[in-house]
Chains A and B, each alone.
Chain A
Amino acid sequence: MKTFYKKFSEKFIEGLLMLSGTITSLTVVLIVFFLFKEGLGVFDKKPVEEGYVIALSKSNPLKTLSSEQIKNIYDQKITHWSEIGGKPDSIILFRAEDISNFYSDEEIGENFEGLSTCINRLVDSLPDIIAFFPKKYLAKDFKGHELTVDKVSLKEFFGGKEWFPTAQPSAQLGVLPLILGTLWVSLGAILLALPLGLAAAIFMSEIAKDNVRRIMKPLIELLAGIPSVVYGFFGLVIIVPLIQKTFNLPVGETGLAGSIILGIMALPTIITISEDAMRNTPRAMKEASLALGASKWQTIYKVVIPYSISGISAGAILGIGRAIGETMAVLMVTGNAAVIPHSILEPVRTIPATIAAELGEAPNGGLHYQALFALGCILFLITLFINLAVEFISNRKQHNKH
C-alpha cells in the first residue's frame, strides 16, 4: 500500500511537471500563431478603407492604380492623367464632402437621399474626375467605373517609404522607415554601449580590486532593474534638451537621444556577460602570458579578449536584442517621425514604438490593426534571428574549448 502511494505521488508530480512544460510551450506557439495569422492578413487586404469606392469616368481608360499613385493624386503631386499613362488632361479631385460645391442642398437632400444621383451625374459630366465616396452612394446605374485597387503587396509593404496607415483615401503601409529607424537607433546604441561596456567589463574582471568589484557589480546590475519608462523620463528631461542645445536643433527628440538611452539600457547586459566570459579565462592561461614577460595590458588584449571573444559577442548581440525590442523609453525620446532617417540628429520612429503608439487607435481587425501585427512579426523575426545568432556563437565557443 505504501509503495502504491509513493508510486502514485511520483507519477502525479511527473504529470504536473510535464503539464507545466506543455502549457508553456503551447502558449508560446499560440502567441506566435496568433501574431502571424493577424499579421499576414494585411497582404489580403486592399489599402482603401472598406465600404468606400474610388471611381473614374467611363471615358477614362485607366482600370487600376496603386495605393501610392492614389495618394500622390490626392496630395496633388500627380496633377495630370498623362503622368500615370492616361490622357493629357489635368485631374479633378472629388471627395463625397465636396458635393456641395457642385450641387445645391435641395438636390442633395436633407438626409443625403439625392447624393448618389448627384455623384452619378457629376462623374458622368466630368471626364477627368477621380471620385472617392462611400459605397452606399454608388448608384445602381452608375455611369462611371469603379477603380480596382491592388491588394497590399510584399514589395509595397517592405519597400514603401511612407507609413500613413490612416491616410484617406488610400493607406500607405511602407515599413521601410520603421525598420530603418529601429536598426538606426539600435546601431547607434551599440556603437555607444560596446566600447564603454567592454572597458567596464575589462576593468571589473582584470583590473579592479575585489572590494571595488563588489561595489560596482551590484550597481551595474541595478541598472538593469530600472523600469524603462524611468529611462525614458530621464532621457526626455535631461538628454533631449542637452542634444537640442549642443547641436542647435529645432527639436531634441532624435535618433541620437534614443541611441543614448538604449545604449545605457544595453550596458548591464554587455558588461555582465562579457565580464563573466573574461573571468572564465583560465588563470593558468593568464599566468602563462605573464610568465613570458607580457605586461598586464598585453595579456588582456592578446589572451583574455581572444579567449572570451565569443562571450563578448554574445553579450553585444543580446544588448542589441534588448535595444531592438525596447518600446517605452524609445517612444518617449525619439520624436517618432516615420520618415527614413538621413542623420542621427533627425527624429526617427522604431517598430515597437509604432505598435505601442498606434494599436490603441487602430480598429480591431482592420487594415491598420493587421499592419501593426505584421510589424510585430517583423520584430519577432529580427529578435529570433538575434537569439539564433547568440546560440550559434555560444555553441562555437564550447567547441573551441575542447
Chain B
Amino acid sequence: MYNIESKNVDFFYGASQALKNINIAIKPNTVTALIGPSGCGKSTYLRLFNRMNDLIDNTKISGQVLIDGEDIYAKGVNVDSLRKKVGMVFQKPNPFPKTIFENVAYGLRVNGITDKKFIEERVETTIKQVVLWDEVKDKLKKSAFELSGGQQQRLCIARALAIQPSVVLMDEPTSALDPISTAKVEELIYELKTKYTIVIVTHNMQQAGRVSDTTAFFYMGELIEHDTTKTIFTNPKIERTQNYITGRFG
C-alpha cells in the first residue's frame, strides 16, 4: 500500500509544460528526497500534493495524484481538508505575525477547534516534538519574530505538525539556515519519519543522502530516476543521474 502515488502526471504553466508524465509511488513512513537542478520541476511537483499550485492562475494538470488511494484532483474534493492531511514546510521560515503559541495553535483554530485545554496540550506536545520546548517555554506569549531563523523554522515545522497530518511536504526547508540549525532540522526529519510520510525537496546532495530513504532525480520536467537513496548515490542506472550526483552538471 502506497501513501502517495502519482500516475501519468503532466503539469502546465499556461502553455509551457513543467512536468512530463511523472509516475512515482511513495510508501508510508519514508522520507523521499526530490533532487535536480533549478527549474527542473521538483518544487512544482511537491506542491501538487497539497494543491498549492491551485493558487497560481492559468495552470493545468492531467493524470492522477492519489493520497491514501484517493484522487485529490477529482471533482468535489475538499481542498481545505486535504491540506489538513498534507502539511507543508516552506523554504524560508515564515511564521505568522503572532505569538509563538498562536503560531502553533493556528492550524487547530482555523480547523474549528476551540477547546482551550486541548489546544494548550497539543501546542506543548508539538513544540516538544520539534525539540524547541526548552528554548521557548518561557516566551510562548512573545512574537515568533523574536526567534532565530533556525528556531523559526522548527516552529514552522511544529505549526505544520500540530494538526497531525499524515504527509509532510518540505520545500528546501534548510536552504535559509546555518549548518547547526540545518543539522537540528535534519535530525528532526529523521525522527519524524516514524510518524509521517515525508517528501523533501533539496538542492543539497549530502542532505538528500543523509535523511532520505528513496531519492527521485528530476531533470527538465521529467523524472529521470527514482530508487532507494543508496542506489541513486552509489549505483545509478542512468548516466545523467550519475553526472548530476557527482557534480558534473547542475
Contacts and interface: CB of A to CB of B under 8 A. Distances in A.
A292 B165 CA distance: 9
A282 B87 contact: no
Contacts of A282: 94
Interface in A276-292: 282, 284-285, 287-292
B110 A293 contact: yes
A191 interface: no
Interface string B166-206: 00000000000000000000000000000000000000000
Contact of B145 (A302, A303, A306, A402): A402
Contacts of A293: 80-81, 83-84, 107, 110-111, 163
Given A210-B57, A285-B96, A290-B83, A295 B88 contact: no
A402 to B, nearest CB: 7
A287 B52 contact: yes
Interface residues on A, range: 20 to 34
B110 A289 contact: yes
A291 B88 contact: yes
Nearest to A299: B110
A291 B50 contact: yes
B76 interface: no
A294 B96 contact: no
A287 B110 contact: no
B160 A291 contact: yes
Interface in A18-75: none
Nearest to B103: A288
Contact of A292 (B57, B84, B92, B145): B84
A140 B208 CA distance: 110
B52 A284 contact: no
B111 A284 contact: no
A298 interface: yes
A292 to B, nearest CB: 4
A249 B196 CA distance: 70
Interface in B54-96: 55, 57, 80-81, 83-84, 87-88, 90-92, 94, 96
Interface in B206-247: none
A291 B80 contact: no
Contact of B97 (A284, A291, A400): A400
A291 B57 contact: no
A307 interface: yes
B98 A306 contact: yes
B90 A284 contact: yes
A278 B157 CA distance: 25
B110 A294 contact: yes
A135 to B, nearest CB: 69
A111 to B, nearest CB: 82
A292 B160 contact: yes
Nearest to A294: B110
B83 to A, nearest CB: 4
Nearest to A306: B97
B221 to A, nearest CB: 22
A111 B191 CA distance: 112
A130 to B, nearest CB: 68
Contacts of B57: 209-210
A292 B105 CA distance: 11
Contacts of B80: 293-295
Interface string A193-237: 000000000000000011000000000000000000000000000
Interface in A97-116: none
B13 interface: no
B83 A292 contact: yes
Contacts of A298: 110
A400 B160 CA distance: 23
B55 A287 contact: yes
B97 A302 contact: no
B160 to A, nearest CB: 7
B93 to A, nearest CB: 9
B156 interface: yes
A284 B92 CA distance: 8
A155 B106 CA distance: 54
Contacts of B92: 284
Given A210-B57, A400-B145, A288 B94 contact: yes
A72 B94 CA distance: 68
A288 B83 contact: no
A303 B94 contact: no
A291 B160 CA distance: 8
B114 to A, nearest CB: 14
Query: 9 closest pairs, A vs B, by CB?
Result: A293-B84, A292-B107, A294-B110, A291-B88, A284-B94, A293-B83, A293-B80, A298-B110, A288-B94
Given A284-B92, A291-B52, A292-B84, 9 more contacts: A284-B90, A285-B96, A287-B90, A288-B94, A291-B83, A293-B111, A295-B80, A400-B97, A402-B145
18 contacts: A282-B94, A287-B52, A288-B88, A288-B94, A289-B96, A291-B52, A292-B83, A292-B84, A292-B110, A292-B111, A293-B110, A293-B111, A293-B163, A294-B106, A294-B110, A302-B106, A400-B143, A400-B145
Interface of B: 50, 52, 55, 57, 80-81, 83-84, 87-88, 90-92, 94, 96-98, 106-107, 109-111, 143, 145, 156, 159-160, 163
